């Protein structure tokens, strides 16, 4: 590719948590496959890309053309200028439901704790699916999420029959200029908006033994994952408090220089999924998740990203993504479990 904006021309899409079955020996249940909401992986090369520069309040139209092909930008510009479009409200039309009851979920948590007690895993992240019917335009939910919970990565994919959108603070795997990065997040406390109180909460978070132990474990996991395809693996910064709209996170950055001849796609595969959304040791945790959870995770625990010239430019983890299809939205939150966790 050539041109001033070639760096934004690439594959945009997602990898679901269930895609791990193609990378590791994780026997996803057949019943999970039958419940699949969408393809396990989907990346699209778009002919047109609109780049927003919020700082300058500008947008740039980018078009990919083959040699000798006629431009379609005039039609795109006309569509953008057209103010005659339909607008729809959003409203829920029924209660939130789950495929499992509260007691069944607590029983699953107890199973996870038992595996931690036996030493099968140090940590396991179990999730629960929630579903709610709705009517109208779910893009309005994304707009509200963007306003209420602005995070480094905001995304909305409309694939026609379904949409995936969310707000994520975590860079799972970024490969750029021959170097790979993972930013594990472990350690979270609420943010009050009061500077003095927030400083006190940050100091308490940094001194919390459980939060520190979890953070060390996930940093070590990131170092191990990158070491499979990288050298010069180092911790760039460690347990840095980062302030978001509602919470304070402890964030580290681990990076490594790709080995000569290392495959960048394999580098991503060997780090997937994030330990923060699966557990440790990662493979055993995912095997147990597949056994314990009675539902398909879908986008939860996976990644969305952009692939340019075989470089993963941005690959944030999907912490709490929404999956929407006509008249139904799905959310799959999860929580980390340890030996000391209490089912609730």
pLDDT in tens, 144-189: 999 988 888 889 999 988 899 998 888 888 998 899 999 999 899 9
Give me the residue label for tokens 């393809």. 39
* 163 shares a domain with 179: no
Structure tokens at 224: 């191990």
In this structure, are 216 and 303 located in the same domain?
no
Q: Does the residue 331 lie in any domain?
A: no
pLDDT category at 87 given cuts 50, 70, 90 is confident
State how far the Cα of 306 lies from the Cα of 295, in Å rounded to an integer.
Answer: 28
pTM for this prediction: 0.86
* Tokens of residue 171, six digits: 């860079």
On whether both 73 and 191 belong to a single domain, the answer is no
Residue 100 has pLDDT above 60, yes or no: yes
The two tokens of residue 210 are: 């459980």
Q: Quick one: average pLDDT of 311-326?
A: 63
Q: Say if 4 falls within a structural domain.
A: yes
| Domain boundary, last residue among 246, 271, 296 | 271
pLDDT reading at 33 higher than 80: no
The pLDDT assigned to 189 comes to: 93
The predicted pLDDT at position 320 comes to 63
Residues 41 and 86 in one domain: yes
The verdict on 264 and 287 lying in the same domain is no
Query: Would 179 be classed as within a structural domain?
Result: yes
Cβ atoms of 123 and 116 closer than 8 Å = yes
Tokens of 13: 């899409």
What interhelical angle do 209-227 and 195-207 show, nearest 10?
70
Q: Is 324 part of any domain?
A: no
- Output the six-digit token pair for 64: 């990919």
316 in a structural domain: no
Are 35 and 181 part of one and the same domain?
Answer: no
The answer on 283 and 206 residing in a single domain is no
Same domain, 212 and 125: no
Q: Between the CA of residue 63 and those of 24, 66, 72, what are the distances in Å?
A: 38, 10, 8
232 and 252, same domain (yes or no)? yes
Average pLDDT for 6-28: 87
Q: Is residue 246 domain-shared with residue 216, that is, in the same domain?
A: yes
Q: Which residues span the domain enclosing 214?
A: 173-271
pLDDT of residue 309: 64
61-70, 217-226, 318-327, 335-344: range with lowest mean pLDDT: 335-344
Same domain, yes or no, for 139 and 198?
no
258 phi, psi to nearest 5 deg: -60, 135
Quote the number of domains for the chain.
2
Let me know whether 31 and 145 are in one domain: yes
Residue 311 has pLDDT above 90, yes or no: no
Give domain status of residue 104, yes or no: yes
Render pLDDT for 241-258 as a digit per residue (tens, 0 to 9). 999 888 999 999 999 999
pLDDT cut 70: percent of the chain above it? 89
Predicted confidence at residue 301, as pLDDT, reads 87
Name the percent of the chain lying above pLDDT 90: 55
113 found inside a domain: yes
* Mean pLDDT (whole number) for 313-331: 67
- The CATH number of the domain holding residue 290 is 3.60.120.10
Count of alpha carbons within 13 angstroms of residue 42, beta-carbon side: 14
SS (HEC) of the chain:
CCCCCHHHCCEEEEECHHHHHHCCCCCCCHHHHHCCCCCCEEEEECCEEEEEECCCCEEEEEECCCCCCCCCHHHHHHHHHCCCCCCCCEEECCCCECCCCHHHHHHHHHHHHHHHHHCCCCEEEEECCEEEEEEECCHHHHHHHHHHCCCCEEEEEECCCCEEEEEECCECCEEECCEEEECCEEEEEECCCCHHHHHHHHHHHHHCHHHHHHHHHHHHHHHHHHHCCEEEEEEEEEEEEEECCCEEEEEEEEEEEECCCCCHHHHHHCCCCCHHHCEECHHHHHHHHHHHCCCCCCCCCCEEEEEECCEEEECEECCCCEEEECCEEEECCEEEECCCCCCC
Mean pLDDT of the chain: 87
Interval 43-74: pLDDT, tens: 999 999 999 988 899 999 999 988 889 999 99
Q: Residue 330 domain-assigned?
A: no
């Amino acid at each position: 590719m050539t041109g001033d904006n070639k760096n934004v021309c690439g594959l945009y899409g997602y990898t679901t948590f269930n895609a791990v079955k193609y990378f590791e020996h994780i026997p996803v249940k057949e019943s999970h496959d039958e419940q699949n909401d969408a393809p396990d992986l989907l990346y699209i090369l778009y002919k047109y890309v609109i780049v927003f520069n919020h700082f300058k309040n500008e947008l740039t139209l980018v078009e990919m053309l083959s040699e000798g092909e006629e431009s379609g930008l005039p039609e795109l510009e006309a569509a953008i200028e057209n103010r005659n479009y339909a607008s729809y409200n959003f409203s829920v039309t029924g209660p939130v439901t789950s495929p499992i009851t509260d007691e069944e979920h607590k029983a699953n948590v107890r199973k996870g704790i038992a595996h931690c007690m036996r030493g099968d895993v140090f940590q396991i992240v179990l999730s629960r699916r929630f579903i709610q019917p709705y009517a109208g335009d779910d893009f309005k939910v994304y707009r509200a999420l963007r306003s209420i919970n602005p995070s480094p990565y905001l995304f909305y994919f409309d694939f026609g029959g379904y949409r995936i959108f969310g707000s994520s603070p975590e860079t799972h795997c970024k490969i750029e200029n021959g170097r790979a990065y993972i930013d594990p997040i472990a350690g979270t406390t609420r943010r009050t908006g009061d500077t003095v109180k927030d400083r006190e909460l940050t100091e308490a978070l940094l001194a919390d033994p459980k939060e520190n132990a979890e953070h060390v474990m996930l940093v070590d996991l990131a170092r191990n994952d990158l070491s499979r395809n990288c050298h010069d693996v180092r911790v760039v910064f460690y347990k840095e408090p980062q302030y978001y709209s509602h919470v304070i996170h402890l964030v580290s950055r681990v990076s490594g220089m790709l080995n000569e001849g290392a495959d960048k796609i394999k580098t991503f595969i060997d780090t997937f999924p994030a330990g923060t959304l699966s557990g440790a040791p990662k493979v055993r945790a995912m095997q147990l998740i597949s056994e314990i959870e009675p539902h398909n995770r879908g986008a939860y625990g996976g990644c969305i990203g952009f692939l340019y010239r075989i470089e993963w430019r941005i690959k944030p983890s999907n912490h709490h993504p929404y999956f929407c299809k006509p008249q139904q939205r799905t959310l799959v939150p999860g929580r980390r479990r340890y030996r000391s966790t209490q089912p609730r």
